[in-house]
Every structure is written in C-alpha cells, then in structure tokens.
C-alpha cells in the first residue's frame, strides 16, 4: 500500500461540480492499493497515520498527531500511486490491485481510521474527482507498507 499524507488547512473533493467531501485543518491522505496488499497493510498504515506526529506543539516541534489536534482526515483513493514509470513514457498500472479488491481494502482502511475516533471524509472510489488541497507547510510524507515495520 502506498500513501501520500499531506498536512492541510483545508481539503475537498468535487465530482461533476458538486462538493461531496470537505475538511478543515487535518490530513489529506491519497491511498494507493497495490497488487498483493492485505488488511495488515491497511492496519499498519492506518495506525501510522493516526499517530504520526506531524503537527507542531507550542515550541514549534512536530510532536502532535491528528488525534492530539482533534483534526480530520480526507481519504482519497488513488490507484495511480501504484504506477510503474520505469520503462518507456506511459505509466503501467499492472501493480495496482484489481478494482474489486482495491475497493474492499480501501473501505477497510477507512473503517480502521474511524475506529480511532477521527473524523473521516472520503472521496469516491472509481470516480473522476477534483481534489482541492490547501497544503499547510507544506508538510508531506510518502508511506509504503512494504518498507515499514509495526
């Protein structure tokens, strides 16, 4: 599983010109489900995200998590994170999980986040979305479940 976490002042998703999700002050999370990803990957990254100390404390150090800040998460499915761009000029998406499996794991990831008492908004799986990201910092992290330990 590949995830891009961005600290935001605000973020929103529109589909066909209609606002479907919006958060203020929190994390925008782009979620790529790759071939072979399992529930353990979703749990590992979900736990990392809710506990990631990426918000500043009173001394200006990144010591506070989304739980400490009582912020929100906007979770966006993004299969293009699994693209292989090593050969040629056109990305290959063979590394992305099959849509049926990816949707199931994406939903599980979101349920896992919600179990941690975090306000969660989501994009829509399989839809063309316009995502607005008001970066804060900017502070951005790339997380790969295959390169992490619990």
Q: What would the pLDDT profile of 81-125 be if each residue is shown by its tens digit? A: 999 999 999 999 999 999 999 999 999 999 999 999 999 999 999
Domains of the chain: 2-145 (3.50.80.10)
Tell me which residues of the chain have a pLDDT lower than 50.
none
pLDDT on residue 149: 80
Has 78 been annotated as catalytic?
Answer: yes
Helix locations, 8-84, DSSP H: 39-51, 66-69
Has 112 been annotated as catalytic?
Answer: no
Token pair of 109 as six digits: 């990831």
Has 80 been annotated as catalytic?
Answer: yes
- Choice among 6, 55, 79, 122 that is catalytic: 79
- Choice among 6, 55, 59, 78 that is catalytic: 78
Rounded-to-integer distance, Cα 62 and Cα 85, Å: 33
Q: SS3 of 126, please?
A: coil
Q: Please state the separation of Cα 119 from the chain's center in Å.
A: 14
């Amino acid at each position: 599983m590949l995830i891009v976490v961005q600290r935001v002042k605000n973020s929103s998703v529109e589909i066909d010109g209609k606002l479907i999700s919006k958060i203020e002050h929190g994390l925008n999370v782009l979620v790529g489900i790759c071939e072979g990803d399992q529930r353990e990957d979703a749990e590992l990254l979900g736990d990392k995200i809710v506990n990631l100390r990426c918000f500043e404390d009173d001394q200006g150090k990144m010591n506070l998590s989304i739980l400490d800040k009582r912020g929100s998460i906007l979770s966006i499915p993004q299969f293009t994170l699994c693209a292989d761009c090593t050969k040629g000029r056109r990305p290959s998406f063979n590394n992305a999980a099959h849509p049926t499996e990816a949707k199931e794991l994406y939903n599980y990831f979101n349920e896992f986040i919600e179990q941690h008492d975090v306000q969660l908004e989501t994009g829509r799986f399989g839809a063309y979305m316009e995502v607005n990201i008001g970066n804060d910092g900017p502070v951005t992290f790339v997380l790969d479940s295959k390169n992490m330990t619990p």
